A and B are shown apart, each in its own frame.
Chain A
Amino acid sequence: MERPFDKQIDRLKVKLIKMCSLVDEQVEFAIRSVDEKNISLADLVIERDLKVDKYDTKIERICQKLFALNQPVAMDLRLVMSALKINSNLERIGDLAVNISRFAKELPAKPGFYSRLHFMEIAFLTREMIKNAIDAFIGGDSDLARRVLASDDKLDNMVHETSQTLIEIMKEDQNNIEPALKFYSIFQELERLGDHATNISEEVYFIVKARSIKHRDEDDLFRDHDFNSES
């Protein structure tokens, strides 16, 4: 006999997966709105953020109800705890997609230096991280989650290199400063998107393995005697 609790958990998973798909598409459209200078796509992302916020609120309510009425334990407890955090990260990813779309609308026509930025290469890596984080969550795949973590360093390096290139571009011609600053902000948002994909992957690892890998190894983290005696 299926417990009413299982139905609620399934409902939570379905809502999260739907939110994942929506947010993934928001990021895709935001990136395309920059690359294609597509204003209507940017407007669509901005408009659909309300839908992301609705999912956020709905998922929070489901989690609150699950905690209050069902007192989840073990795997169920970790899932509901992590669902709340994954939800927050997805909501932030949605906000960042909106920010990128707003920058896309403000950008003048594609500047001459665009090809030096490797925008689509970096955007592709960011999207892949988000997609893998979502797949890891859906499939309960802790190995895939770990791989997302490894990609974050690569993304950070690529964004850092591009930031240096942008500084050079600004030095070359002061007419470049305004569009280059917009691109600088867009790359910062891509880097943050990678951070949120990493956060989601850490939560997936916690759900599956019951260990936190957010900071460093949990055992090292709590080796400090004073901290232990306080708790």
Chain B
Amino acid sequence: MKDVKIYTENLSVFFDYIQALNNVSIQIKANRVTSIIGPSGCGKTSFLRTLNRMNDLMHGFKMKGEVKIDGVDIYDDNIDVVNLRKLVGMVFQKSNLFPKSVYENLIFAPKLNNIKDKNKLDEIVERSCTQASIWDEIKDRLNDNALNLSAGQQQRLCIARALSVNPDVLLMDEPASALDPISTSRIEELIFELKKDYTILVVTHNMQQAARISDFTAFFYLGQLVEFEKTTKIFTNPSNKQTEDYITGRFG
């Protein structure tokens, strides 16, 4: 299907003898926001990290099945993992900026990708910050230490940094869980804006957030994909009883 960006077929993931994902088959649409919800330990983050091979170095990692992005098997031996991560950016729960200036954080990845021209780098900094709705706040603070920014600004700077290498896909693992309501709302607005250009996957514990921001929602439980549907359907009339119990808080 043309509009499918990410495709997994019978994906199972193991860490030693623990199975984190069990036969997950899903088709994530391009330029849409997909939320991944489920109780702790259900495999949400393992799934997300599988999509840019962040699990590769985890102890005892093994996987079965297929993961394709734009039809390309990302676990193929010929895949350059650094290039893959350029294509599939990631933002974590807590901002993980380098203890360097705002500017240096933003040009770090482009420089790794051999972009040396100062004008070009300046252009990248402005574009990614504008996309991450933080340009106006930091354009006069580019030489400040990034760690001096507020928590909400740091998180948006992380998003800007992820955008600096022009990815296609943005993975977000609890991107707003450590933020106050105003900063959370800004991140949510940002996600809504960014989906025009990117395919976005968001892992969240906050079901209301999933409802607000996403077009599609996937409910995981015990490593299995229980239900994957349009967010409106999941939150008004889910097909599966486990999904209903989880979103209504009757779980367990």
Residues of B within 8 A of A68 (CB): 211, 232, 235-236
Which chain A residues numbered 1 to 46 have a C-beta less than 8 Å away from chain B? 1, 3-5
B133 within 8 A of A: yes
Whether A71 pairs with B236 at a CB distance below 8 angstroms is no
A57 within 8 A of B: no
CA distance A75 to B189 in the complex (A): 20
B246 within 8 A of A: no
Which label, helix, strand, loop or mixed, suits the secondary structure of the A interface? helix
Contacts A1-B133, A64-B236, A65-B236; A70 near B189 (Cβ below 8 A): no
A83 to chain B, nearest CB (A): 17
Whether A69 pairs with B189 at a CB distance below 8 angstroms is no
Q: How large is the interface on B (under 10, 10 to 19, 20 to 34, 35 or more residues)?
A: 10 to 19
Residues of B within 8 A of A3 (CB): 185, 189, 192
Whether A4 pairs with B192 at a CB distance below 8 angstroms is yes
CA distance A65 to B232 in the complex (A): 7
CA distance A69 to B208 in the complex (A): 7
Which chain A residues numbered 47 to 71 have a C-beta less than 8 Å away from chain B? 64-65, 68-71
B193 within 8 A of A: yes
B100 within 8 A of A: no
Nearest-neighbor residue (CB-CB) of A3 within chain B: B189
Residues of A within 8 A of B235 (CB): 68-69
B34 within 8 A of A: no
Residues of A within 8 A of B236 (CB): 64-65, 68
Nearest-neighbor residue (CB-CB) of A7 within chain B: B192
Residues of B within 8 A of A64 (CB): 236
* Interchain Cβ contacts under 8 Å between A and B, 14 examples: A1-B186, A1-B189, A1-B193, A3-B192, A5-B212, A65-B236, A68-B232, A68-B235, A69-B232, A69-B235, A70-B211, A70-B212, A71-B208, A71-B211
| Residues of chain A at the chain B interface (Cβ within 8 Å) | 1, 3-5, 64-65, 68-71
| Residues of chain B at the chain A interface (Cβ within 8 Å) | 133, 185-186, 189, 192-193, 208, 211-213, 231-232, 235-236
